[in-house]
Structure 1
């Protein structure tokens, strides 16, 4: 029997609170990726911090219900992070962010040992671990990083030398502009650079060629988690040793499933 793919997600989590409906959903980039990996029959863990409030319990219980390993979630006195959300024609609009105990998140040596026991580690721009990435990289564990739309951020430049799979989002640049940007990012260290472009699909660059892939047509209910589910599908493809275009297809399929319902998962 083949060994299951194991991906460690680490960094930020938050409760996505929909102001108009009063609904609350667990979320955050690494959290979402961990759940989507399980949805694709991989194994995943989430390492992070929640508060002592009801939202903290809700986050851990929700992840446990999805089969995600929560053994390295710390509980700190205080409030779990909350992002306020509105929906406008299927697009999610992010409002105020209450950081709560995420402000105090730090990795321990035990956490790093745990992360390095996986096939790949995934985090993101607000994951609070950019200063620790070198400790993972020096142990020959691949790192995926979601830079979102932060193309020129201080954290972006700090993280890039240690990242193997760099993900960005951008839907307002031409192909030529994106090609130049992706070549520049590639020169900073990553093996593969991927840009997701909303309804325009995605572009990947591995240093040799640019590969484009469209979207899987579907009804858009809520775009929350679309990019995270693409990343999860792409990374599953990478660890299954599929060609880049097949990784992109897996990402698009995963994304099309997520945007068909409210909340990230």
Structure 2
């Protein structure tokens, strides 16, 4: 029987609020990754905090409906995080971010024990746990981290020594510049560094070889969640013992699915 890999997603969640239509979709980098892992028949949990408002219950219900373990989600008095979004020329443009109760999120001992019961932990730049990552890494649980386009952020510097799989996003630099950057990041601790480049595909570096992969052609409805989809596919490949190139292909394929619908997931929106 094939092993059912368990990935723990932890950190930020937010409501993606489309200002032009009033539609609200559940999202946030770790949340999206957990949902996409389930879409690929993996096993995923999400650990984080929502507010006591209607959006908070909407978030919990939405994540649970996808089969993600929400046993370590907490509800705190206050507002659930919201990201304002607009669609311009088919691309989503992120506006103001209202952090809400996520501002005070911190892992408990019970949370850390729970996360370390999984095969891999994934979080991101706004997940609020960069200073606690060493607690997970020292127990032997691999860590993946989405640094987005924050190539030189203080959080990046704090987190990198405790990260196994580092994901960045940059579609503006030359290949030579990206290679130099990836070599530098590799010296900070990761086993693999990946840079996604939008329509230009992605580059992965394992300390020895740079591997390039393009995109899988598809109709683009909404780019929300495309990068998170790539990470989920890549990590599933890692846990399955696949080559770096196969991991990249799985990431690109996962992204192509997400690009084909409105919002980060296939889920009816809510309006409040």
Counting only pairs closer than 5 Å after superposition, residues 241-260 of structure 1 correspond to structure 2 as: 241-260=241-260
Q: Secondary structure at the match of 1:21?
A: coil
Quote the residue 1:3 is aligned against: 3
Quote the residue 1:117 is aligned against: 117
Q: Distance in 1 between matches of 2:157 and 2:106?
A: 20
Q: How big is each residue's C-alpha offset from its partner over 1:100-144, in whole Å with a ceiling of 9 and x where there is no partner?
A: 000111100000000000000000000000010000000000000
Quote the residue 2:131 is aligned against: 131
TM-score of the two chains, using structure 2 as the length reference: 0.97
Quote the residue 2:163 is aligned against: 163
Q: Distance in 1 between matches of 2:173 and 2:52?
A: 43
Q: Is 1:29 aligned to 2:29, yes or no?
A: yes
Q: Distance in 2 between matches of 1:226 and 1:157?
A: 25
RMSD: 0.4
Quote the residue 1:230 is aligned against: 230
Q: How big is each residue's C-alpha offset from its partner over 1:125-178, in whole Å with a ceiling of 9 and x where there is no partner?
A: 000000100000000000000000000000000000000000000000111000
Structure 1 residue 94 displacement after superposition = 0.3
Q: Distance in 1 between matches of 2:230 and 2:145?
A: 13
Q: Is 1:78 aligned to 2:78, yes or no?
A: yes
Q: Distance in 2 between matches of 1:40 and 1:120?
A: 16
Quote the residue 1:183 is aligned against: 183
Structure 1 residue 89 displacement after superposition = 1.6
Q: Distance in 1 between matches of 2:75 and 2:18?
A: 24
**Structure 2 alignment gaps of length 5 or more:** 266-272
Q: Secondary structure at the match of 1:160?
A: helix
Structure 1 residue 187 displacement after superposition = 0.5
Quote the residue 1:66 is aligned against: 66
Quote the residue 1:216 is aligned against: 216
Q: Secondary structure at the match of 1:20?
A: coil
Q: Give the 4+ runs in structure 1 shifted more than 3 A.
A: none
TM-score of the two chains, using structure 1 as the length reference: 1.00
Structure 1 residue 3 displacement after superposition = 2.3
Q: Distance in 1 between matches of 2:80 and 2:261?
A: 24
Q: How many residues were matched structurally?
A: 265
Q: Distance in 1 between matches of 2:3 and 2:243?
A: 20
Q: Is 1:152 aligned to 2:152, yes or no?
A: yes
Quote the residue 1:48 is aligned against: 48
Q: Secondary structure at the match of 2:183?
A: helix
Q: Secondary structure at the match of 2:222?
A: coil
Structure 1 residue 2 displacement after superposition = 2.3
**Structure 1 alignment gaps of length 5 or more:** none
